[in-house]
């Protein structure tokens, strides 16, 4: 009798799907507002408890080059992976931030304290002395609440008992304003809230995270979100490569999946492009090329292929076109603040759909390649192990392969994995 697993496996193998793969990565996102003509800034300590901590966390965020990139995955039966971006030229440290010691010195000279308790005019004066373009200030506060609860429970023996729990909540609120030093006017404001909760029951209630520690978590979240308001950051994106229902390309499925899974986009591209060229009215094939260009930030090329897919199947792919149009607009905004991303392209290969073989062993091994499919024939080359070659022809126990310099020769199947 077939198990459910065997039935599902047979159904999968019976399909003629060439590949399906997802790529998780991070893409650069512009801020909510653009601070025009602002390159050098300073952050005063926010007023309120944890105000100094918030200011320091924000400064730390502004120094990060890849702010927002973090580990992905994890959870039950999964290990987390380092987050990455395939975009070149993207960065998040776009402002020069005045050192704290320099700020403290100016505040002392102005008979002010770095507590956020200054008005807009004073802030502008401080900024002019520091030689900056804008100064950031604000306030922060947090509240806490412990909520007890009683839950009727039944143990394994069927005996009833009462479970006593405590839910601890910490809520932090911040208000930020950005002041143009030259005009003294407010050029940006943002209010943000962060909430952390934790519940523990019975004897574990004494191990609840302290209010101060939970408040620190809130403050870190607020720092990240407040900086996002005026500074670019990386955001998580998941690109779904579609199944191409064409049995002629089924043999390339594992090759493409492996390349994409390893982030080797340049190796995946020639195969995907060759599949598209062989079947240009295949909308998923066009969409997959759009995905590759989308991932590396070449949004114009991504739009070209998404548009082809949408022309064939508007209902399925018009949303991809709209999304990449937004990305083109985002990229223009990033360019306006000095973040210039490289427009990457990929190289095509005429033999992309040809079969490949790999020699066994390692790079230190060497195997004879013959002029004819015969052990007694002239040796044309001695090729290393663990190396991939394009197949020109299969001839029994010999394989005609492509060598360097446009040459070709026969290698015995015993040297192939």
Q: Is residue 68 part of a domain?
A: yes
9 has a pLDDT exceeding 70: no
11 has a pLDDT exceeding 60: no
Instruction: Identify whether residues 150 and 226 lie together within a single domain.
Output: yes
* Integer Cα distance of 113 and 123 in angstroms: 11
Instruction: Identify whether residues 167 and 271 lie together within a single domain.
Output: no
| pLDDT confidence bin for 20, thresholds 50/70/90 | low
Residues in the chain: 417
pLDDT at 416: 92
Instruction: Identify whether residues 401 and 252 lie together within a single domain.
Output: no
pLDDT at 125: 84
Q: Which residue has the tokens 């580990």?
A: 71
What's the mean pLDDT in 122-127?
A: 84
Instruction: Identify whether residues 187 and 74 lie together within a single domain.
Output: yes
Q: Is residue 10 part of a domain?
A: no
Q: Is residue 349 part of a domain?
A: no
| pLDDT confidence bin for 149, thresholds 50/70/90 | very high
Question: pLDDT digits over 195-209, tens only?
Answer: 999 999 999 999 999
* Integer Cα distance of 116 and 356 in angstroms: 66
* Integer Cα distance of 123 and 374 in angstroms: 86
Instruction: Identify whether residues 327 and 218 lie together within a single domain.
Output: no
Instruction: Identify whether residues 162 and 64 lie together within a single domain.
Output: yes
- The CA R_g of the chain, rounded to the nearest whole Å, is 30
Instruction: Identify whether residues 52 and 179 lie together within a single domain.
Output: yes
* Integer Cα distance of 388 and 28 in angstroms: 35
Buried b (16+ CB within 10 A) or exposed e, 255-265: bbbebbeeeeb
Domain count, the chain: 3
Q: Is residue 1 part of a domain?
A: no
Instruction: Identify whether residues 188 and 142 lie together within a single domain.
Output: yes
Among 199, 231, 263, give the residue marking a domain's end.
231
Q: Is residue 206 part of a domain?
A: yes
> 28 - beta bridge partners?
234
Q: Given its phi and psi angles, is residue 206 left (phi above 0), alpha (psi -120 to 50 degrees) or beta?
A: alpha
Mean pLDDT (the chain) is 88
Q: Which residue has the tokens 């190396």?
A: 387
pLDDT at 283: 94
17 has a pLDDT exceeding 70: no
Q: Is residue 249 part of a domain?
A: yes
pLDDT at 75: 60
Instruction: Identify whether residues 144 and 93 lie together within a single domain.
Output: yes
* Integer Cα distance of 368 and 379 in angstroms: 6
> 382 - beta bridge partners?
368
Nearest to 18 by CA among 288, 303, 327: 288
Instruction: Identify whether residues 104 and 201 lie together within a single domain.
Output: yes
Out of 4-18, 174-188, 336-350, least confident range: 4-18
76 has a pLDDT exceeding 70: no
> 73 - beta bridge partners?
80
* Integer Cα distance of 256 and 267 in angstroms: 8
pLDDT at 77: 59
The distance of Cα 15 from the centroid of its chain, to the nearest Å, equals 32
State the CATH number of the domain containing residue 181. Answer: 3.40.50
State the CATH number of the domain containing residue 310. Answer: 1.25.40.10
Q: Is residue 102 part of a domain?
A: yes
pLDDT at 3: 46
pLDDT at 7: 36
Among 302, 336, 370, give the residue marking a domain's end.
336
Q: Is residue 386 part of a domain?
A: yes
What's the mean pLDDT in 205-227?
A: 97
Question: pLDDT digits over 89-117, tens only?
Answer: 989 999 999 988 888 888 777 776 555 55
178 has a pLDDT exceeding 70: yes
Instruction: Identify whether residues 225 and 250 lie together within a single domain.
Output: no
Domain range spanning residue 112?
31-231
212 has a pLDDT exceeding 50: yes
In whole angstroms, how far apart are CA 195 and each of 69, 105, 144, 292?
Answer: 22, 35, 10, 37
Say if residues 272 and 288 touch (Cβ distance below 8 Å): yes
Instruction: Identify whether residues 178 and 40 lie together within a single domain.
Output: yes
Residues 58, 63, 65, 69: what is their CA dihedral angle, to the nearest 10 degrees?
-30
Q: Which residue has the tokens 């407040």?
A: 226
Say if residues 367 and 411 touch (Cβ distance below 8 Å): yes
The contacts found for 128-132 with CB under 8 angstroms, 24 or more apart, are 128/181, 128/182, 130/42, 130/98, 130/102, 130/103, 130/106, 131/40, 132/40, 132/41, 132/42, 132/98, 132/181
- The model's pTM is 0.78
């Amino acid at each position: 009798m077939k198990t459910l697993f065997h039935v599902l496996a047979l159904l999968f193998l019976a399909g003629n799907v060439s590949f399906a793969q997802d790529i998780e990565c991070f893409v650069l996102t512009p801020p909510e507002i653009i601070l025009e003509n602002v390159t050098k800034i300073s952050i005063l300590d926010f007023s309120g408890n944890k105000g100094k901590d918030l200011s320091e966390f924000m400064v730390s965020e502004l120094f990060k080059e890849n702010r927002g990139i973090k580990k992905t995955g994890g959870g039950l039966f999964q290990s987390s992976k380092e987050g990455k971006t395939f975009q070149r030229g993207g960065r998040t440290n776009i402002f020069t931030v005045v050192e704290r010691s320099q700020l403290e010195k100016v505040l002392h000279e102005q008979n002010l304290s770095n507590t956020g308790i200054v008005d807009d005019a004073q802030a502008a004066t401080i900024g002019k002395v520091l030689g900056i373009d804008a100064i950031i200030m604000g306030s922060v506060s947090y509240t806490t609440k412990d909520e007890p609860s009683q839950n009727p429970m039944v143990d394994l023996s069927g005996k009833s008992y009462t479970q006593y729990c405590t839910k601890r909540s910490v809520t932090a609120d911040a208000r930020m304003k950005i002041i143009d030093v030259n005009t003294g006017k407010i050029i940006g404001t943002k209010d943000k809230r962060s909430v952390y909760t934790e519940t523990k029951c019975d004897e574990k209630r004494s191990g609840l995270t302290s209010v101060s520690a939970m408040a620190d978590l809130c403050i870190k979240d607020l720092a990240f979100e407040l900086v996002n308001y005026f500074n670019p950051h990386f955001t998580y994106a998941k690109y779904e490569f579609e199944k191409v229902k064409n049995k002629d390309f089924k043999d390339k499925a594992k090759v493409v999946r492996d390349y994409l899974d390893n982030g080797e986009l340049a190796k995946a591209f020639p195969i995907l492009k060759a599949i598209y060229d062989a079947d240009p009215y295949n909308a998923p094939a066009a969409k997959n090329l759009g995905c590759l260009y989308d991932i590396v930030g070449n949004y114009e090329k991504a739009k070209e292929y998404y548009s082809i897919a949408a022309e064939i199947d508007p209902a399925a792919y018009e949303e991809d076109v709209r999304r990449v149009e937004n990305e083109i607009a985002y990229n223009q905004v990033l360019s306006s603040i000095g973040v210039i991303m490289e427009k990457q392209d990929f190289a095509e290969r005429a033999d992309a759909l040809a079969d490949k073989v790999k020699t066994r062993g390692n790079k230190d091994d060497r195997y004879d390649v013959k002029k004819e499919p015969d052990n007694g024939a002239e040796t044309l080359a001695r090729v290393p192990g663990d190396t991939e070659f394009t197949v020109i022809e299969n001839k029994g126990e010999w394989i005609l392969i492509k060598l360097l310099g446009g040459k070709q020769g026969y290698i015995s199947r015993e040297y192939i994995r």
